[in-house]
Structure 1
Amino acid sequence: MNALVDLPHMLPAGPGTPQLLLVDDDARLRGSFRLLLTQPGRDIAEAGSGEEALATLKARSFDLVLLDIGLPGISGLDVLRWLAENRPHTGVMMVSGQRELEAAVRALRHGALDFVRKPDDLDFLPERVEQTLLRLRLQRENAEMTARLAHSERLHRFLVESSPDIVYTLDDAGRFVFVNPRIESLLGYARSELLGQHYTRIVHEDDVALARFAFAERRSDERASTNVELRLVCGPRLPAGRALRHLVTTVSAMGVYDEAPPPSPPAGTRPRRRFVGSYGVVRDITERKRAEETISFQALHDQLTDLPNRRLFKDHLELALVQAERRGQLVGVMFIDLDRFKLVNDTYGHLLGDELLRSFAQRLRGCVRAGDTVARQGGDEFTVLLPDLTNADDALPIAQKILAELDQPFLLGDREFRATASVGIATYPRDGLTAEQLMQNADIAMYEVKTSGRNGGRMFTTEMNAGHTQRLALENDLRRAIAQGQFEAHYQPQVSLGQGRIVGTELLIRWRHPVLGLLLPGQFVALAEETGMICALSDWVLERACGQLALWHALGHRHLRMAVNLSPLELARNDIVERVTAPLSRHMLPPGALEIEITENMLLDDAPSVVEKLERLRAQGVRVAIDDFGTRYSSLAYLRRFPIHSLKIDQSFVRDLGPEGDSPIIQAIVGIARGFNLQLVAEGVETVEQLQALRALGCDEVQGYLLGRPMPAVALTPLLSKPPQLPTPLGG
């Protein structure tokens, strides 16, 4: 620190043990001196010549030297001159037998503190030495105090000039009389342009009244200090890159008072000190205030979408309910859940999923009224508060507007996404009197939409409570069923029209519920997908399919293949290829014996990860079929791009076949299959006429009740060895 210096060095030993040096060429005289000056706590050394004296002085420090002027060789004056140059804080008393005044003057001129003649003044020597030591001690203490004061002043100046805060002094009128250089870098003013100016020049106009109150120290001498938060206006000299209009600061102000009270105070009053000015520190807290505002915002808002979070939404809802009760109004609550959002997250990654949530939140804001509140509850769940409703049905148009907005695709990066949502609506006071009741009932209404096919909105009804309770019970039962293995595998045969025999089967899962009996996939698969339990079911299906197929192959039916359905959530799993091929390896089956069926809508977004997984499955030899083909829009480019082996015509098209077998849709699908060299399988064949028409159209394989209902393996096994007998259905 260049502004600071060390305290004076080479001072005498100090107030401890006085250090004396006796220098005289007469040993007897030195002995007399020692005898006279020796006392407890005093250290005395001797030197018999000027040379010896210099050597001793160079080796250690002394408080006082008694020095003979007339030394042989190096004289006493020579030693005195050396001390003046090298040991200026060492005291010297000259001792001489010369009586001339000239000798004394010469010694004092060279820095001696006293002059003693020998032998005349020896009787007074102890007293003279004691006085000189006292004088030296006082000089030393004064020098140390002066040095400390100078050091303190330099330190204070350094701290003020180098302070990261603004340090200021005002006179009694509030004008600047001092301000440190920090004012320029922090606020953009030169020191010179503020000196003599009133402090309100740099105070934000909205804070001037507060500043005047804080600085009004002349009202009383009891309020010696204050702290206040003020906005200060920035000047024109701010450094580049700091384009600020004002700073938020904390300003400390301490009053300065004249200690001498005014003369003759009024009778009966206490004398007041006279106010002469203020001083204090200004600290920039702009970043801290921004951080506090950010923390406060984050505590009540969703960080991804900047929407109010669950906590703030509940606060708004509870306030709206209080106002609605007072005014006799209605309040609506919407619970919105994006359909199949987990599939987007798992397939395309969380970054793109987050972008979809942000885009959806922005659209939601544009669908509601100015006084409504849109919030994110978490994940893909959003809520909307609709205060001041005239009647309960007023919420439906807003829900329809939200659903209509979702019909427009989302452009995320270079991809287009289409999303749907399930919307549940509850209203106060019909559907609940508290925030918790309204949120719960809107959630129940939303789940009713989910279980009814998604992509819609519904108002809550009391009948939904029973359905919600049943759904929760079924969810718990499903978890128990997975743990206890309550599932069964049924198999529906697939017949080759060219070979006239069963060439494959499709495994269809059944749930043997201990109370409800045998449940079909439509009664629990959607629930398994919503709750994430579909992956455990998938593992069970793949293991059972490969195990049963291995048994049939061992019986000689090595041409037989097995088809299993794969849901979008299953295909989104990063390890799906390993999970499909692992049971094939365990049961030593050729990969081509397994066919996975995926729905057409899984191809609509042409996700690179889906292509990559299907390519890996095909490389392993696993077959891929598109189930329910033709029920949704899909570009022919998908059929070319995706590694697909077969198309399955949806049973709705088979059901619509006329007596003459004329079906433009099926004819088109047949043409597509032939064009892409894909195998064609028709589902839902129930009549001989349908079978004959499909054979005429060129369909490769068929399955349906005409050929056999789904059945346990024990029922299907005998039928594998005999050709199907038409029109009698196989199985029963």
Structure 2
Amino acid sequence: MKAIANFDFSPQSPDIQETPCNILIVDDEERIREAYRHLLAGEGRIIEECGSGNEALRRLDHRDIDVLILDLMLPDINGLEIMEWMLHQHVPTAVVVFSGDESIDSAIRALRHGAFEFIRKHGDPQELIDTVDRVLRRRRVEREHALMTVRLEQSERLHRFLVEQSPDIIYTLDKDGAFIFVNGRVQALLGYTREELLGKHYSMIVYPDDLEHARFAFNERRIGDRASTNVEIRLQTKNQGVRHFENRTIVAILSAQGIYATNEEPASRHFMGTSGVARDITDRKKAEETIAFQAFHDLLTGLPNRILFKDRLGVALKQAKRKNKRVGVMFIDIDRFKLVNDTYGHHEGDELLKCFAQRSRSCLRSGDTLARQGGDEFTVLLPDLGDGEDASVIAAKMLAELRQPFKIAGVDFFTTVSIGIALYPDNGKTPEMLLRNADIAMYQIKGRGKNGYLHYAPEMHSGQSMRLTLEGDLRQALESGDQFELYYQPQISFSQRRTIGMEALIRWHHPRHGLMMPDTFIPLAEDTGMIVALGEWVVDRALCQLASWRSRGFTSLQLAINLSPKELERGDLPERILQRLDAYAIPAAALDIEITENLLMNDAEKNISMVKQLRNCGLRVSIDDFGTRYSSLNYLRRFPIHSIKIDQSFVRDLNPDKHSSTSIIHAIACIARSFDLRILAEGVETEAQRQMLSGLACDEMQGFLFSRPLAAEAFEGFLTGGCFPALDREQIL
């Protein structure tokens, strides 16, 4: 604006002075408006508020608002309707849409209605501040231009200045379409000097594919309201030394009208050519394209998302029906992905997902589609399959590719995938059915040990339906709480011929399926997260029963309860257990918490801390099924446990003629003694097993040789009338 100082202003013209900037905030929530007011406050700014659309329309009608901060979701009038009204009424206010409506369509419509910017409410507040600053700077320039136009309306020098300083291309064509004037902006946007264009036809700067469309705007003869406005046309640049060189085009909106020489008689007007303005909207178009891309793609991997995948799958099914072809759908889940997130963090997990996507795409054909469903789940569309086995070939290729390790946090990480496959028309004829059946097949392969692929079979669906039914039944059973029952299996000291404790085992009296063992519903409770509620029920019922037996004199019994890994993830576990112990007046040492051995290896640091908290509360902690998970002796040394239970698989294999199992149990017994741990063998079923265990210095046992798990009443009878009574039997009245 330094050039303005060279102009000789007439004294009658108003002086240029700094005027306040008026900002109007339109939002139906008062606290939001108040937050915006404080956020945007500044010197020289007058900030007003409106809580409804109608109130905003009345205020905007004064035509003195510089910036409108507009929420689209208003109680009476939609924000887009306000923008439409402003467009028709020619209200010269810049609009910044700042909305909680994160729909892609709303963003695109707002930009097309002339919004300067679309900002989401849940984004960075600095983005709103910067946008308003840009708008005000632009308004300031526009205001200065307007003041200059009023002062020097008759000045050719000012006219030239404004034209040359315009951010838009301003041009004039003769009646044949050749340039007779163009401002200097054309060089910044297209790379042409005005001398190169003068006398040349407008087609020189129009992208060839848009020539037919451009002909009507560049040859416009109409004037006034009927003239061409906002016609979108691509213009091509001269060279690559200017903006947008990557595609050598810009996108512009063109407004034009005819130029006439007026004689004394209106009917004798003579057409002389066309004048017009071309505004660069390339950045806005890119923003719209980005919004559209984000609506149909996963931002992390760049893959199609589930919306685009289903659309492509629907198209592929229609084509397959016409061509009598097969279509394959694969549902892929990365095995042990949660371990990466928990161990190395979400950043490394994201890197694994991106590397997995890249390597998986290399296994597919050019016409196949790999999409991300969410989390660590992906889907693959295989159109035009000649044979169902073609999908198996691709799945096997993916498994082979994944045998190469991924680099995670600088170390090699080996991962596998579980792949379910469904085929059209064999396994379904709609996108929903194929995705569902491929998902079912994927979970089947997970249940079989993961790291493989499996085709869908109808019997899988019946199993899945039964699982869903059982899930609902389990949820209802937890709400009522009267379908479960605890059984107790004695733990005995053979040398003392007495019962020293018992393990609480849950049973489910299903209304249709009868008595169900834990193996049939505990995995389901783990998968659905109901295991925490089920665990709380077990702890409360078992402690209530133990309190009853202690009141009858059985005060030396040790109660063992299994806890799920999910229960140990809860930071308030020690407090919750202590609350129940206090409620039933039971000492903490009477409760033995059994955890699985794999907790030694998975997230060891966190679990060591939790076990320490449990021990500090006075509780006993045991490792169940010891010897089956290849425990690290270093972790065993660090875990503050009280005892270990030898897994029944080792006990079952005990044989006088078989040295291996005897050696394993002997080694476990030595480990226990070296760490000063109690040792107990489970699954003892024969006298021969009992004798061998006694010979290996393992005195504490449980198993069918002594008793099966018993209901509470029967277990009390075992304590008083069995071969292994409780130590304080003589105290029973």
TM (norm. structure 1) is 0.68
Matched, 1:250 2:252: yes
The alpha-carbon deviation at position 341 of structure 1 amounts to 6.0
Counterpart mapping for 1:163-182 below 5 A: 163-169=166-172, 174-175=178-179, 177-180=181-184
1:179/1:195 contact within 8 Å kept: no
Local SS of the residue matching 1:524 = helix
- Which residue of the partner structure matches residue 547 of structure 1? 544
Give the Å deviation of 1:561.
2.4
The residue correspondences of 1:182-221 to structure 2 (distance < 5 A) are 183-184=187-188, 189=191, 196=198, 198=200, 203=205, 207-211=207-211, 214=214, 221=221
TM value normalised by structure 2: 0.68
The size of the alignment, in residue pairs, is 577
**1:516 Cα deviation (Å)?**
0.9
User: Which SS does the other structure have where 2:710 is aligned?
Assistant: coil
1:469 aligns with 2:465: yes
Matched, 1:693 2:702: no
Q: Give per-residue Cα distances to partners, 1:229-280, cap 9 Å, x unaligned.
A: 31543867769xx98664532141525545279xxxxxxxx99945445432
C-alpha distance 252-597 of structure 1, shift in aligned 2 (>3 A): same
User: Does the alignment pair 1:702 with 2:701?
Assistant: yes
CA shift digits 1:622-676 (9 cap, x unpaired): 3333322232334333323433333322211211111256323333333433344
1:427-438 matched pairs, under 5 angstroms = 427-438=423-434
- Cα distance, 1:194 vs. partner? 5.5
Q: Offset of 1:9 from its aligned partner?
A: 7.7
Distance 1:389 1:551, change over 3 A: same
Alpha-carbon distance in 1 for matches of 2:331, 2:240 = 52
Deviations 1:462-492 (A, max 9, x none): 2233323222221111111111111111122
Partner of 1:650: 647
Equivalent pair of 1:681/1:702 in contact (CA under 8 Å): yes
Q: Within 2, Cα distance between the matches of 1:441 and 1:254?
A: 58
| CA distances 1:36-80 after superposition (whole Å, capped 9, x unpaired) | xxxxxxxxxxxxxxxxxxxxxxxxxxxxxxxxxxxxxxxxxxxxx
Residue 234 of structure 2 corresponds to: 230
The separation in 2 between residues aligned to 1:706 and 1:370, in whole angstroms, is 64
**Is the 2:600–2:636 contact (alpha carbons within 8 Å) kept by the matching residues of 1?**
no
Residue of structure 2 in register with 1:126 after alignment:
none
Whether the 8 Å CA contact 2:240–2:248 is kept in 1: the answer is no
The CA distance in 2 between the partners of 1:660 and 1:631, in whole Å, is 22
Aligned partners of 2:167 and 2:185 also within 8 Å: no
**Contact 1:302–1:308 (Cα < 8 Å) also in 2:** yes
- Mind listing any 5+ residue stretches in structure 1 that lack a counterpart? 11-145, 262-269, 727-732
* Alignment correspondent of 2:510: 513
Alpha-carbon spacing, 1:315–1:209, altered in 2? closer, same or farther (3 Å): closer
What is aligned with 1:372? 368
- Specify the code of the residue in structure 2 equivalent to 1:678: L
Output the CA distance in 2 between the equivalents of 1:577 and 1:347: 24
Q: Look at both structures and tell me which one has the larger radius of gyration over its CA atoms.
A: 1
The answer (yes or no) to whether the contact 1:565–1:597 under 8 Å persists in 2 is yes
* C-alpha distance 193-325 of structure 1, shift in aligned 2 (>3 A): same
Q: Give the Cα–Cα distance (whole angstroms) in 1 for the partners of residues 585 and 412 of structure 2.
A: 42
Question: Is residue 568 from structure 1 mapped to residue 565 from structure 2 by the alignment?
Answer: yes
Over 3 Å counting, the alpha-carbon distance change for 1:605 and 1:219 in structure 2 is: same
Distance 1:218 1:286 in 2: 20
Moved more, 540-549 or 410-419: 410-419
Q: Distance in 2 between matches of 1:352 and 1:538?
A: 33
1:492 to 484, 489, 494: 489
**1:308 Cα offset (Å):** 1.9
Q: Distance in 2 between matches of 1:253 and 1:568?
A: 68
Deviates more, 1:567-576 or 1:229-238: 229-238
Q: 1:271 to 1:650 in 2, by over 3 A?
A: farther
The one-letter amino acid paired with 2:214 is A
Alignment of 1:47-66 (within 5 A): none
Question: Which residue of 2 is the match for residue 598 of structure 1?
Answer: 595
Amino acid at match of 1:167: I
Q: Is the 8 A contact 1:424 1:446 kept in 2?
A: yes
Please say if residues 333 and 384 of structure 1, whose CA atoms lie closer than 8 Å, have aligned partners that are also in contact.
yes
Shift of 1:523: 0.7
In the alignment, the residues of structure 1 paired with residue 515 and residue 261 of structure 2 have an alpha-carbon distance, to the nearest angstrom, of: 99
Cα deviation code 1:325-350 (max 9, x no counterpart):
22222222222345576787688876
**Structure 1 counterpart of 2:705, which letter?**
L
- The question of whether the paired residues in 2 share the 8 Å contact of 1:339 and 1:420 is answered with yes
Contact kept, 8 Å, 1:661 with 1:694, in 2: the verdict is: no
Q: How does 1:98-109 map to 2 (within 5 A)?
A: none
For residues 291 and 326 of structure 1, the distance between their equivalents in structure 2, rounded to whole angstroms, comes to 38
Shift of 1:208: 3.6
1:234–1:247 CA contact under 8 A, matched in 2: no
Give me the identity figure in percent.
51
**Secondary structure of 1:691's partner?**
helix
Q: 1:336 aligns with which of 326, 332, 338?
A: 332
More moved, 584-593 vs 699-708? 584-593
Partner Cα separation in structure 2 for residue 311 and residue 556 of structure 1: 66
CA contact (8 A) 2:494 2:700 kept: yes
* Cα distance change, pair 249–491 in 1 and its aligned pair in 2 (3 A): same
Partner of 1:13: none
Does 2:714 correspond to 1:715?
yes
Distance in 1, Cα, partners of 2:429 & 2:677 = 59
Q: For 1:507 and 1:688, how far apart are their aligned partners in 2?
A: 24
Unpaired segments ≥5 residues, structure 2: 15-148, 726-733
Q: Distance in 2 between matches of 1:218 and 1:566?
A: 78
Aligned residue for 1:326, secondary structure, equals helix
Matches of 2:315 and 2:293, distance apart in 1: 19
Contact 1:549 1:561 in 2 (8 A): no
